[in-house]
Amino acid sequence: MKKASLFTVSRLHGLAPLALALALGGAVVPAAQADTTLTNASFDVARELFAALNKPFIAEWDKQHQDHLVIKQTHAGSSTQARSIIQGLNADVVTFNQTSDIDVIAHAGLIDSNWQQRLPEHSSPFYSTMAFLVRKGNPKHLTSWQDLAEQGVELVFPNPKTSGNGRYTYLGAWASQSALNHNDEANTEAFMRRFLANAVVLDSGGRGATTSFIERGQGDALITFESEARSLAKQYGDKYEVVVPKVDVIAEMPVAWVDASVRKNNSEALAKDYLNYLYTPQAQTIIADHFYRVRNEQVAKQIAGRFPDTHLLNISDVFGSWDSILSTHFASGGKLDQLQRQ
């Protein structure tokens, strides 16, 4: 008798957690499917922006429908997101900070190749530019890209090979010098050599560069998107200020619905509604509150003064297509590699 009870008790002990797990795991799945869902794959620092944007959209949708709308957000570097979607991440819409990363998904056949023509403003409801975060009082008087290439100036920006900010930093410096010397390429390359030599660290991503500049106190200027520089200045109070150069490049934030996913999820209408919502005055106001520049003229007029007047150069006007930018400048052995060699 005793033997038998020992046997059964120890066996149950072993199986109980497994049974519990299966029961709980099973309970979660149907609950999530009762709502209408939309999955938005977005870039890494846009978490709060989309949390704010989704709230009114969900409220409006719930008012007009029987069931509840759940918007699932996923955030990571937009190149990582593109790769995940190609491998099967079931995102209905993408809201990225790199046009080239949507092209990557389009090349894989999951997004229509004419995606930039499907929505207004090249499918880019908002945009930003590059800015310098400098220490209070701007002790080295850094106001233009040219100032950054002066001797003795120390720069912090992420590696152009691995991050969007880094790429735009490189392109911004190049484009502004190129505008100044009327496309004298030898002069621009000499300038870029000095500019790149001033970098004290090249972290792999934007967050690492920020840590180097703010927590480790390295460098005279952190170069990043204007939106990020402003939210950093807001977070760290009066220790820093933001400088936006007079001539700069436009960094478009592109959006698209993922054709393969919306077909499978039967969510095409919802995905389009959501992306079109980003162009409405209500959404554009929220976007501007998060320090991005917006397209809607009414909203732009209301917030005039919040963003300094800047002559913004178009990447495609200066450099051509993203495909050619990547192969000419950032590929192994490309311009960036050559210019970094001393």
Partner 1 sequence: MQRVGDSLPVKWTLIVLALVLTALVLVVPLIEIVRQALAGGVGELLDNLTNTYTLSAIWLTLLIAVITVPLNVLFGTVLAWLVTRFRFLGRRLLQTLIDIPFAVSPVIAGLVYLLLYGRNGWLGQWLAGYDIQLMFAWPGMVLVTLFVTSPFVARELIPLMQAQGRQEEEAAVSLGARGAQLFYRITLPNIRSGLIYGAILTNARAMGEFGAVSVVSGMINGVTISLPLQVEQLYQDYNTVGSFVSALLLAMLAVLTLVIKGLLEWLAERRQQRHSKVAEDV
Binding site for partner 1 (CB under 8 A): 3, 6-7, 10, 14-15, 17-18, 20-22, 24-25, 32, 39, 44-45, 47-48, 72-76, 84, 86-90, 205, 207, 210, 231-232, 235
Q: For residue 314, what is the DSSP state?
A: P
Which lies closer to partner 1 via its Cβ, residue 73 or residue 138? 73
Phi-psi region of 4 (alpha: psi -120 to 50; beta: other; left: phi over 0): alpha
Q: For residue 334, what is the DSSP state?
A: S
Which lies closer to partner 1 via its Cβ, residue 34 or residue 197? 34
Rounded least distance, CB 159 to partner 1, Å: 16
Distance CA 273, CA 57 (A): 10
Distance CA 58, CA 31 (A): 18
Which lies closer to partner 1 via its Cβ, residue 24 or residue 304? 24
Distance CA 111, CA 155 (A): 38
Rounded least distance, CB 19 to partner 1, Å: 9
Q: In terms of C-beta density within 10 A (0-12 exposed, 13-18 middle, 19 or more buried), how is residue 67 classed?
A: exposed
Distance CA 30, CA 27 (A): 7
Residues 208 and 45 sit within 8 Å (Cβ to Cβ) = no
Rounded least distance, CB 267 to partner 1, Å: 15
Which lies closer to partner 1 via its Cβ, residue 5 or residue 342? 5
Distance CA 78, CA 95 (A): 9
Rounded least distance, CB 288 to partner 1, Å: 19
* Degrees to nearest 5, angle at CA 159 with 238 and 82: 105
Phi-psi region of 131 (alpha: psi -120 to 50; beta: other; left: phi over 0): beta
Rounded least distance, CB 326 to partner 1, Å: 22
Distance CA 130, CA 223 (A): 7
Which lies closer to partner 1 via its Cβ, residue 239 or residue 311? 239
Which lies closer to partner 1 via its Cβ, residue 101 or residue 248? 101
Distance CA 179, CA 160 (A): 21
Which lies closer to partner 1 via its Cβ, residue 58 or residue 76? 76
Rounded least distance, CB 15 to partner 1, Å: 7
Rounded least distance, CB 211 to partner 1, Å: 9
**Which residue's entry shows tokens 């995940």?**
84
Rounded least distance, CB 104 to partner 1, Å: 14
Which lies closer to partner 1 via its Cβ, residue 249 or residue 253? 253
Largest CA distance in the chain: 97
